[in-house]
Amino acid sequence: MGDNMVLEKIEEIETILAHPITCGLSPETEEGRAGLRKLEKQHEKLVRQIHNRQSYKMFKGFLDFLNTEPSKTEILKRLYALLDSRLSFGSATNSIWAEESLTLLLKERKT
């Protein structure tokens, strides 16, 4: 598997669950049903693993925010706050400079 090992495994399981007979699991037999239940539980575990990641929560929160149809100013301010909370600017000074840059950009945009 590549860099997206968990996601690739999820997709592999989804393919099997969508086409169990072609993958050798017959829902008509107890053994096949047991195999499908096991795959469903493994699928749930892997999805939960990604849902519990801080990065997933961050992207989900940002998507939820975007779904409120914020203004460009609100988006830029939220992006700054997100980057700053992840220490993306490298130092407090760079964070302050980034905030100044954003403030000036937004001020210039209004004029």
Can you tell me which residue has the tokens 């700054």? 80
pLDDT in tens, 22-65: 888 999 999 999 999 999 999 999 999 999 999 999 999 999 99
pLDDT of residue 1: 44
What does the mean pLDDT of the chain come to? 94
What is the Cα Rg of the chain in Å?
Answer: 22
Count of C-beta atoms within a 10 Å radius of residue 10: 19
pTM: 0.78
